Structure 1
């Protein structure tokens, strides 16, 4: 093991880093619980909030202690991001297959990026400046890509990539492979069953949301229409207007809630 890897491992195993990362994962879970609440409002046709993680930050901002809570949330998310960076660098050593271990490290890297983005968004909300509408931002980006040579092909490739991620996330929930990353033996019997159920619901619900985003991006690629693209907010509101959309939204809301609860358990029992 090289000097850099040894240093990274020492930092990762530092009790302060471990506590900070696990506390950060709790905040990550809180955002998904709030997102479940916002999605439920979409089901009821009464959602003035942006239906994504930034909308969840907006919910925090609307409370009496909003700015203070947002700064605490930002610190927690940055701590979570640091933990995921270290996991991406030297984590998941308990996974025997190299390809699978690399896949999990890539997943940790993506969560680190998400944590940083949401952390900065929390700071923007705390300072009183809106971070913008995510669907509009994605539509603008899609329009820029479509304007490039082979732009439709590139957007289509992104859509396929998102759908592949959605499949992996759903599969993780169906096969309960998320349990590989937890010390399930540290949890009481009743808690283990609860974590197993909420974990399955959470990963499957999260995967369904990704799948809807992938389909919207794919439709935008086929029709060369960036307005048909969008992020999670656009995906959920589009689904609300479709046959059986309310049922699927309810499933996704339950999934987001389950994933948030899973994050709380993972904060305690993650290897």
Structure 2
């Protein structure tokens, strides 16, 4: 989970560079490439690869047997979320392994989103399916925002590891981070929906396109800087959650 936090801190750094005119690949692979460019890049990539795969496997285990401290539908939702998170994190770990070994690491988030959209558009009622996918991503965005505002993520943390003032800081970091992720997911959903309405896969985009779309808006520098700080806050929250998460 700490490695997942490092990825978000690097994402925040790339987003800030985009906000002030940089042309970097501002997505998860870009963050891993940024890690590899440091003086200890190869070592850091191997640490991130091993850590992300371990985190992903733990999420799969949580999806199968975890969240016993909640019951009913909430437990099911948390387990489904853990399973989805496990898929994403394992994919990041595989990308890190590819970069560490020089065998690749997958394409950008924009390329992956466009390929996914193109495959959907080839199906019967393809544009409608793309719009439905956009609605699903928008639902994820809303869920992230609600989770941040209601601070339900604190239910997953051991209160004995976060006494008093420290818990308030973790709550603030988590709220800020989840709201920032909600904004990014929402922009991604808008791009995907636009691609569906126009039956044009090239108009879809992933995290990189979402951040650059924010930068292109009026007051884009301010808006993207706020989102970048939110992503950094989520990275910091991951460190706290790694310390105090319930097993």
Q: TM-score range by the shorter chain?
A: over 0.9
Q: Distance in 2 between matches of 1:248 and 1:100?
A: 33
Tell me the TM-score normalised to structure 2 length.
0.95
* Partner of residue 40 from structure 1, selected from 3, 6, 16: 16
CA deviations over 1:105-149 (Å, ceiling 9, x no partner) = 011001110111001100111122432222123212212211221
Query: Which residue number corresponds to residue 250 of structure 1?
Result: 225
The answer to whether the Cα contact below 8 Å between 1:26 and 1:267 also exists between their aligned partners in 2 is yes
Which consecutive aligned stretches of 4+ in structure 1 deviate over 6 angstroms post-superposition? none
Q: Residue 88 of structure 1 aligns with which residue?
A: 63
Would you say 1:125 and 2:99 are equivalent positions?
A: yes
User: Where does structure 2 lack aligned partners over 5 or more consecutive residues?
Assistant: none
Q: CA RMSD in A?
A: 1.2
Partner SS, residue 22 of structure 2: coil
Which residue, out of 114, 117, 125, partners 1:142? 117
Give the TM-score normalised by structure 1. Answer: 0.87
Hey, what's the Cα distance between the residues in 1 that align with 2:35 and 2:85?
21
Q: Which residue of 2 aligns with 1:263?
A: 238
Residue 193 of structure 2 aligns to a residue whose secondary structure is helix
1:33, CA displacement in angstroms? Answer: 0.7
State the SS of the aligned residue for 1:243. Answer: coil
Higher Rg of the two aligned structures: 1
The residue aligned with 2:80 is 106
Shift of 1:82: 1.2
TM-superposition CA deviations, 1:57-103 (whole Å, max 9, x none): 0111101221222112111111101110110001111113x111111
1:177 Cα deviation after fit: 0.8
Q: CA shift at 1:254, angstroms? A: 1.3
Q: CA offsets, 1:205-255, max 9 Å, x none? A: 111111110111001111111111010001111221122332321221111
1:187 corresponds to 2:162:
yes
C-alpha separation between the residues in 1 aligned to 2:112 and 2:139?
A: 23
Q: How big is the shift at 1:35?
A: 0.5
In the TM superposition, what whole-angstrom CA distance separates every residue of 1:130-180 from its partner, at most 9, and x where no partner exists?
322221232122122112210001101100000001100100001111111
Aligned length: 245
The whole-number CA distance in structure 1 between the counterparts of 2:230 and 2:86 is 21
